[in-house]
């Protein structure tokens, strides 16, 4: 069994650790966090260094995951780790469901109650948070985050680094651009451009500040 190093000991990082422990695939789980040495523990796990110290702790016997919620930061650090030869596993909680005909990229996580249905394809560093569901034939690009309780109908496509807030729902067949923010509780019923923020039912762009 390998060890697992998680970079980022905040709320998301600790859920990643909890999920990893439930999977039972690693002998030891430890954290790196920039609050070290003041921060010695993240949840029930030990913090052993700052995030920049990962080269000192990673070798062939260590898998690495980035436990950072911010999509661009998580994806950027993951790419740096991969370039350095680190292995980033995909993580699926034992109480999640992923169809054998779906695919999940490196460093992606599916937390408890998450579901990924047949022929859905998730890129690298994607988060399917607690109780979120991805229906058939969806395509999620790298760095997408589905917050807890998000539901995607079939054939939804989401561009890189977009973030769907708590409980948002997306109608089947909708295409969402990159770096788009969908507010908590929104209902997305038509395609969305890159880089915008939408809220409400049906989801509408938040007007820019004057």
Ligand X SMILES: CC(C)(COP(=O)(O)OP(=O)(O)OC[C@H]1O[C@@H](n2cnc3c(N)ncnc32)[C@H](O)[C@@H]1OP(=O)(O)O)[C@@H](O)C(=O)NCCC(=O)NCCS
Which entry of 12, 93, 136, 151 is annotated as an active-site residue? 136
Q: How far apart are the first and last CA of the chain?
A: 56
Residues 6+ apart with CB under 8 A from 8: 31, 32, 33, 51, 66, 67, 68
Residue 136 is a catalytic residue? yes
Q: Does 166 bind ligand X (CB under 6 A)?
A: yes
Q: Does 62 bind ligand X (CB under 6 A)?
A: no
Q: Does 48 bind ligand X (CB under 6 A)?
A: no
Which tokens belong to 63? 């898998």
Count residues near ligand X (CB under 6 A). Answer: 13
Q: Does 73 bind ligand X (CB under 6 A)?
A: no
Backbone angles phi, psi at 204, to 5 degrees: -130, 150
Positions at the binding site for acetyl-CoA: 145
Query: What is the rounded CA–CA span in Å between residue 42 and residue 13?
Result: 9
Smallest distance from ligand X to CB 130, Å: 9
Cα-based torsion angle of the residue sequence 90, 22, 169, 104 in order, rounded to the nearest 10 degrees:
10
Smallest distance from ligand X to CB 58, Å: 27
Closest to ligand X by CB, 58 or 180: 180
Neighbour count for residue 37 (Cβ, 10 Å): 9
Query: What is the rounded CA–CA span in Å between residue 86 and residue 56?
Result: 12
Using CB under 6 A, pick the residue from 71, 147, 157, 180 that binds ligand X. 147
Query: What is the rounded CA–CA span in Å between residue 150 and residue 130?
Result: 9
**Residue window 103-142: x/- pattern of binding to ligand X, with contact defined by CB under 6 A:** --------------------------x-------------
Closest to ligand X by CB, 48 or 184: 184
Query: Is the C-alpha dihedral spanning 170, 174, 178, 183 positive or negative?
Result: negative
Window of 23-31, 36-44, 70-78, 177-185 that interacts with ligand X by CB under 6 A: 177-185
Contact residues toward ligand X (CB under 6 A) are 129, 147-148, 165-166, 181, 183-185, 197, 199-200, 206
Q: Which residues are annotated as catalytic?
A: 136
């Amino acid at each position: 069994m390998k060890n697992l190093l998680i970079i980022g000991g905040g709320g998301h990082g600790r859920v990643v650790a909890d999920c990893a422990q439930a999977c039972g695939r690693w002998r030891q789980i430890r954290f790196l966090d920039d609050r070290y040495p003041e921060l010695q523990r993240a949840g029930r796990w030990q913090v052993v260094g700052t995030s920049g110290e990962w080269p000192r702790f990673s070798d062939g016997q260590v898998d690495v995951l980035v436990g950072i919620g911010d999509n661009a930061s998580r994806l950027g650090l993951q790419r740096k780790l991969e370039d350095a030869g680190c292995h980033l596993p995909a993580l699926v909680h034992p109480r999640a469901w992923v169809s054998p005909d779906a695919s999940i990229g490196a460093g992606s996580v599916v937390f408890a109650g998450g579901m990924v249905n047949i022929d859905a394809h998730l890129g690298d560093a994607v988060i399917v948070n607690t109780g979120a569901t991805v229906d058939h034939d969806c395509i999620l690009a790298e760095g997408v985050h589905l917050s807890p309780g998000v539901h995607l109908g079939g054939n939804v496509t989401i561009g890189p680094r977009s973030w769907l807030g708590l409980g948002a729902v997306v109608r089947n067949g909708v295409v969402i651009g990159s770096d788009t923010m969908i507010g908590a509780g929104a209902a997305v019923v038509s395609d969305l451009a890159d880089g915008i923020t939408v809220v409400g039912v049906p989801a509408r762009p938040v007007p820019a500040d004057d």
